[in-house]
Amino acid sequence: MKYILQTKNLVKSFGGVHAIDHLSINIVEGQITGLVGPNGSGKTTLINVLSGFFPHDSGEIIFSGVNRNKILSWENQIYNITRTFQQIRLFEQMTVLDNILVVLTERSPIYSLFERHTQYHLKCAEDILRKIGLHEKLSHRASDLSYGQRKLLEIGRVLAMNAEIILFDEPFAGLFPETVKKIEEIIQNLKQEGKSIVLVEHNMAIIRKLCDHLIVMDAGKLLAEGHPEKVLSEKIVLEAYLGE
Amino acid sequence: MEYIFHIIILISIYGILALAQNLVMGEAGLLAISGAAFYGIGAYVAAIFATKLGLSIITTLFIAPIIAGLIALVIGASFARFRDDYFMLATLGFLMIFNTVTKNWEILTNGSYGIPGIPKPQIFGFIFSTPLSFVFLSLFLLIIVTIVSELIKRSSFGRALNAIREDEDALKIFGYQTSRYKLMIFTIGAALSALGGVLFASYITFIDPNLFTVNESILLWAMIVVGGMGQTRGVLLGALLLIIIPEMLRFVGFPTEVVGLMRQCIYGLLLVFFMLYRPKGILGIYKL
């Protein structure tokens, strides 16, 4: 069993509040790892820290065996990691196609100045848009899409990134069953392609269906971890998370 | 007829300046108020190099963008960490420093007296001394800047700038070192603004520090906001309207000194009106 992502004694505080409190977790390569916990338990903060949105205060973050003391967002491509956001963050005034193309094209400012997207880029973008069911909306503005379509477009950008580690922050929240099913299929396909996925989710049926491993957080700490069925039946988890 | 040529030359010069400012503000969403400073740097480089060193204005058309670009690169490196209001304040600070330097570094700039006697451009013995010949030169440079602007907009670089304008933090997640993009477009915008400055200095043949104040930057903002942010034709329309509308006041009987004062009022009113009721401008598709 190979760990693709590990944290050791990770700490992140906001003022006097420990959003992440000496958290040590291991994410296994090629698995879907669920991340659950009550509101305010530090799940999104953990995603933000792992993706370089917030700097961590102390502890270690290890990607594929490489210890990253300081995580910078723009280095995510180098370390093969990407994420979605709990609150959708698209490039609103750009078209659906441009939202995908910007992830597919050159990152160096100098090279990108002389690059125009090619037929290859277009084909990749159209394939991705077909996968997420937005190929007929490619010239629409992102801001004109429905909530569900916006969630799908955010997932489309993740597909375009083709990263090895994908952090999904509540991708199913507020969606119709049909869209939920589509995103479930996308996540399962990503797993079949060998991607390692961290899935923050509150719907336990989805967690049971998709996840190979479950991590439960409470007050920034690790409460329990293991196989989803086993973890979700533990008394400590039921008390903390489900209030039972 | 000369009056019409004069208006066309002004529209071309301000078209160049507005397109340069649009790359920074309209495409990348950077609220830079330093447009007038780089415009002034271009004008002063042309004036100093032509009157003190005897270089031709055509040569300064190449030197001024390089000098303005280098200055932008140096100050932009420290400005790149700022965002939104802070970036605007930092660029305003730079513009104020520029104004102070041009007023007080008398050996170089002649201070408040300005620099007179700036020659007309000359190439292969032909002097652009008539208004008509200057129309062709200014339109030629406007076309060059328009092409450069369009090439940038249509490149992957331009798309990344748009994404920075929309959500810089989200773009970083996809591997973009956005500060480098911001620095680069700030530098390119400064270099293109300097071209407008050279053209202006050699057309008017006299410059002083009062020509490159915050009022000029606000005028450029107004041209972009009125015409349409992020749209080349919108920006050019903005330059056309904001040069022509104040000129029309001359024909409704206002004295020249009143026209000068009313011009600033019109720019300000148009800016406020469009920000309130049509933030995308006349032909624009984006808003700040």
Scanning A77-106 for CB atoms below 8 A from B yields: 77-78, 82-83, 85, 89-94, 98, 101-103, 105-106
pLDDT reading at B247 higher than 90: no
Quick check: A114 contacting B, CB < 8 Å?
yes
- CATH fold of A3-80+163-242 reads Rossmann fold (3.40.50)
Q: Which residue of chain B has the CA closest to A76?
A: B175
Quick check: B150 contacting A, CB < 8 Å?
no
If pLDDT is split at 50, 70 and 90, which confidence band does A244 have?
low
Q: What is the mean pLDDT of residues A96-100?
A: 97
Question: What are the start and end residues of each CATH 3.40.50.300 domain in chain A?
Answer: 3-80+163-242
pLDDT reading at B250 higher than 80: no
Q: What is the mean pLDDT of residues B173-185?
A: 94
Cα gap B247→B244, rounded to integer Å: 5
Q: What is the pLDDT of residue A68?
A: 79
With contact defined as beta carbons under 8 Å apart, do B15 and B135 qualify?
no
What is the 3-state composition of chain B as percent helix, strand, coil, each rounded to the nearest 5? 75, 0, 20
Average pLDDT of chain B to the nearest whole number: 92
User: B43 CA to chain A: closest CA distance, Å?
Assistant: 27
Lowest mean pLDDT among A42-56, A155-169, A225-239, B164-178: A225-239
Report the interhelical angle of B57-79 vs B178-204 (nearest 10°).
150
Cα gap B22→A188, rounded to integer Å: 44
Cα gap B182→B76, rounded to integer Å: 8
A-chain residues near B171 (CB < 8 A): 91, 102
A-chain residues near B231 (CB < 8 A): none
Residue A181 token pair: 């099913």
When CB atoms are compared, the residue of B157, B163, B169 closest to A73 is B169
Q: Do A93 and B166 touch (CB under 8 A)?
A: yes
Cα gap A42→B115, rounded to integer Å: 63
User: B151 CA to chain A: closest CA distance, Å?
Assistant: 8
If pLDDT is split at 50, 70 and 90, which confidence band does A242 have?
low
Euclidean distance between the first and final Cα of chain A, in Å?
A: 34
Q: Between the CA of residue A216 and those of A14, A49, A100, A188, A224, what are the distances in Å?
A: 21, 17, 33, 21, 5
Give the CB-side neighbour count of residue B235, counting CA atoms within 13 A: 29
Q: What is the pLDDT of residue A8?
A: 93
Is the C-alpha dihedral spanning B102, B104, B105, B107 positive or negative?
positive
Q: What is the pLDDT of residue A243?
A: 62
pLDDT digits (tens, 9 = 90+) for B73-111: 999 998 877 888 899 999 999 999 999 999 999 999 999
Q: Do A73 and B286 touch (CB under 8 A)?
A: no
SS3 B182: helix
User: B281 CA to chain A: closest CA distance, Å?
Assistant: 15
The runs of H, that is alpha helices, within B105-177 are 106-109, 131-154, 156-173
Which residue from B197, B227, B269 is spatially nearest to B25, judged by alpha carbons?
B227
Cα gap B244→A159, rounded to integer Å: 50
When CB atoms are compared, the residue of B155, B162, B167 closest to A89 is B167
Cα gap A213→B28, rounded to integer Å: 42
